[in-house]
Each structure stands twice: as structure tokens, then as C-alpha cells.
Amino acid sequence: MATELSPTARALRTLEILQARPGTTAGELAGRLGVTERAARRYVGILREAGIPVESTRGPHGGYRLRRGTRLPPVVFTEAEALGLVMAVLDGQPAAADADDLVGAALGKVIQVLPESVGRQAAALRRHASAAPDRYSARPDPATTSALVTAVAARRRVLVTYRTESGREWDAEVDPWAVVVRHGRWYLLCHSHRADAVRTYRLDRVRAVRQTADTFEPPDGLDPVAALEENLGSGWEFPTRVVFDAPVAEVAPWIRPLMGRLEPSGDGCVLVGSTGNPSMYAQEWLPSVPFAFRVEGGRELRAAVEALATRLAAAVDT
């Protein structure tokens, strides 16, 4: 059941909206708050009574806005918001339970400035909750992430230095379309001018970012998450091609995006992609698919599968 917001909470939400969208009309404000226009005006009145200078103008470009140079009060969290924030941080970075951790130190500062009753609950949650780190997650450098997000927002082409898991390093000129977080890993979805193709780069493997003077326009209607899922299995160092003796509909639920693109082939289907880690592909991903398969392409993947088969056969050799 949703919790009904108090008038004070709605007034604070009104303040957030006016900060983000100067010129918001009473109708727009009512729509975003889920109240009538009369109620929206009442929340504006609450802000004015609290000494926050909210100005209003009439006409086609009119609406409510904060007076230029307005100094706003500190951010106020409800108990649910504060606990939700702590939970999200610990879920994303378990090490934040430690005050010596970079994110943990920042979280501690947030908790310290919360009202006593709210801060006490948030501090108790942080102190007594334990989180197991995701062994597949990878934390990128904050400065690198910031540089890429800035380039995405400014639609500026960048030069990135990238290093693969095997240690191979190269420079690429890319149009950074979006930064996407997926299952504890951060990715750059971009168009590579070197490959003239869509590429996905892990941010924790980006060693340097240099913004250029060139600009770009992302594709119309881009869905960054869907595009990332579609392209995760392409553009890696080692090509792969795996044939399954089962139809696409049965195999598809077992195929993760990183494994490649699944296509029908006769009575079965074929998985075409690439990987930067043939051993993981052979040892963890393929064995999880409960159908017979043949590795037809990818010398490195074939070698990894053969090595695994030899090791498993030796384990039961009598």
C-alpha cells in the first residue's frame, strides 16, 4: 500500500520540481504531485510561508520559478527515503558498511546530517546489515565515470584507452551514447569509429578518457538498456559459434546476452558472438545450457572446451 504524503512532504516535493523545472505551471505541478491545481497552489503557498521566494508569471511562458540567487534549505529525507538510500548503497557496494571505504565515508556524512530520529535508524541499519559482495561486479574509477557521463550529456566524442582482461590495450575514438549499469557492472554504450559499429566497453577497463571538440547525435529512440543487451556479445576479442540441436524457443531462455546472438538453423539454432574470456565461456556459460551443442567456430573457445573436457574425463577415469 502506498503511503499518503503529508502536506510538508508534498511541499518539499514541490520545491524539488521547481528546482528541476523552472516555469512549471500550476497544472503541470498538480499532475506531477497527483493533486488538484488548487492543492498545488496551496503547496506553493506553504513554501512562501516558509520564506522561500517562489515567483509566478502569467502568459505562454509563465509558471512558477524560484527567485534567482535563492539559497535553499538543507535536503530533508523522510525515514523511508533515508533507509532506502542506505539499503541501495549497501546493495550496490557492500564495502560501504566500512567508514574507511570511499562510498562508506560519503554515506557516513549523509547519515550525520540527517535529523536525529531518521539518522538513528539509518545508522543502525548500516551498522547491523551485512552484504555479500557480488563476485562478478566491478567498480570503475569515479573520475573516469564522471568524464564519460559528462561527455554523454554534452554529446561530445571522446578518445578512450581500453585494456582487455588479457592485457591488450588500444585507443578508440567513440561517440558515447550512454553509461549503463547492469548486474553490478558499468558499461559504456557507444559507436566506435574504428570499427564503424556499436560497441560496449566495461568502464573498469577504461584507462583514460579524452574529450574532443567533435559532437554527435545519438540514434533516435535509443533505449540504452535494450541496446546494451543486444550488443553485449559482440565486438570482443575472440569469435564464437556454437550450434545447438534444439529450436530457438527452447534454448533462448538459457542464453545470457554476453554469449551472443541466437539464430534459427535448420531444426536447431546457432549462437554467434564473441568473448574476451574463452575459459569462462567454456566452463561456466555453456555447461549451464541443458542441450547438446557443438563448438563450430572460435579457435580459442574450442581449445577451452577441449581442455575442460579433458579435465572432467580425467576426474572420472578409472
> 258-307: per-residue pLDDT in tens?
898 899 999 899 999 999 889 999 999 999 999 999 999 899 999 999 99
Mean pLDDT of 60-87: 74
pTM of the model: 0.62
CATH architecture entry for 7-66: Orthogonal Bundle (1.10)
Mean pLDDT of 74-79: 68
In CATH, 142-230 is 1.10.3470:
no
pLDDT at 7 > cutoff 80: no
Mean pLDDT of 97-111: 79
CA distance 23 to 33: 16
Give the residue extent of every domain in the chain: 7-66, 79-128, 142-230, 238-315
CA distance 240 to 198: 18
pLDDT at 6 > cutoff 80: no
> 148-197: per-residue pLDDT in tens?
999 999 999 999 999 987 788 999 999 999 999 887 788 999 999 998 99
Q: How many CA atoms lie within 13 A of 212 on its CB side?
A: 12
> 17-52: per-residue pLDDT in tens?
888 888 899 899 999 888 899 999 998 988 888 788
239 three-state secondary structure: strand
Q: What pLDDT does 1 receive? A: 36
Confidence band for 110, pLDDT divided at 50, 70 and 90:
confident
